[in-house]
Amino acid sequence: VAQKMRDRGKYVASGTRIRYIFTKTEKHNDPQYIKADDPDHYLQNQDTMQIDYLYYFEKQLVNPLDEVLKVKFNIENVLKNLLRLIKKGIIQNATQYFHPKFKIEN
């Protein structure tokens, strides 16, 4: 992120703590150094950049919440399965997973 900031003409002193966010890139599995960017740059370019919410969901929420659901309700991998379906493009949002609509044909 510091190198991206320098490339954009910002001064970044050595040893400075750098804030960053993960943004969407062309490939979901791009390395972190490609996904990471300066929050100020994101705010100035919101029309062309998007925060990678799926990355945060996968890396910071799925495991802890699945553990809570297992302890409290004895169900496993609810969010891991949701994430898998989203990544495969089978569903587009969590509402489809938790409130499915069934089509009954005669």
Q: What is the pLDDT of residues 32-65, one digit of tens each?
A: 999 999 999 999 999 999 999 989 999 999 999 9
Helix, strand or coil for residue 81?
helix
The domain in which residue 92 lies consists of: 53-98
CA-based R_g, the chain, Å: 19
The domain tally of the chain equals: 2
Residue 39 sits in the same domain as residue 59: no
For residue 22, is it within any domain? Answer: yes
Alpha helices of the chain — where are they, by DSSP H? 2-7, 32-35, 39-44, 53-56, 62-73, 78-87, 94-98
For residue 103, is it within any domain? Answer: no
Per-residue pLDDT tens for 66-103? 999 999 999 999 999 999 998 898 988 778 888 777 67
Its pTM stands at 0.74
For residue 104, is it within any domain? Answer: no
Cα separation values, 95 from 9, 33, 41, 51, 99, Å? 43, 31, 32, 20, 5
Closest of 2, 7, 43 to residue 23, by C-alpha: 43
Residue 57 sits in the same domain as residue 93: yes
Residue 32 sits in the same domain as residue 57: no
